[in-house]
């Protein structure tokens, strides 16, 4: 393989990877050819996001080591993902609690007077 040739990276989420088309993206001034079962626009959007985060980190830390920049970007993106998942879990818990409360209130409203619910 010549020094300028970029390997093709396979990336999929369980769908037939062979049906996918290669997508060329540039991340931190490096060109990658990716194969994914995702839409090319989505792959490009993800690559743009990673590129943006890596460039922000490189500017903020004055780091030129691309591996170090990539690791710091990965940690930052993982932190964003973790916080988003926690927020979703908290929202789901709140929805479950509110749904149970409203179901109970609705049952009380619809129950004929004098009839008690047995538990």
* Inter-residue contact 12 to 34 (CB < 8 Å): no
- The contacts of residue 74 (CB under 8 Å, 6+ apart) are none
Residue 3: pLDDT band with limits 50, 70, 90: very low
**pLDDT tens by residue, 40-52:** 999 999 999 999 9
Closest C-alpha among 112, 34, 29, 116 to residue 70: 29
Report which secondary-structure segment, H or E, holds 30: strand 30-36
Task: Please give the full DSSP string across 76-114, using - where no structure is assigned.
Answer: HHHHHHHHHHHHHHHHHHHHHHHHHHHHHHHHHHHSPTT
**pLDDT tens by residue, 75-85:** 999 999 999 99
Q: Measured between alpha carbons, how far is 36 from 13 in angstroms, rounded to an integer? A: 8
pTM: 0.71
**pLDDT tens by residue, 76-109:** 999 999 999 999 999 999 999 999 999 999 998 8
């Amino acid at each position: 393989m010549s020094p300028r040739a970029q390997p093709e990276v396979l990336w999929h989420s369980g769908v037939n990877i062979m049906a996918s088309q290669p997508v060329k993206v540039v991340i931190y001034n490096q060109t990658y050819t990716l194969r994914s079962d995702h839409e090319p626009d989505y792959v490009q959007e993800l690559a743009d996001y990673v590129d943006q985060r890596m460039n922000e980190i490189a500017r903020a830390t004055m780091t030129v080591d691309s591996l170090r920049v990539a690791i710091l970007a990965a940690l930052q993106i993982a932190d964003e993902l973790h916080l988003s998942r926690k927020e979703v879990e908290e929202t789901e818990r709140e929805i479950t609690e509110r749904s149970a409360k409203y179901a109970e209130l609705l049952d009380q409203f619809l129950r004929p007077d004098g009839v008690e619910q047995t538990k």
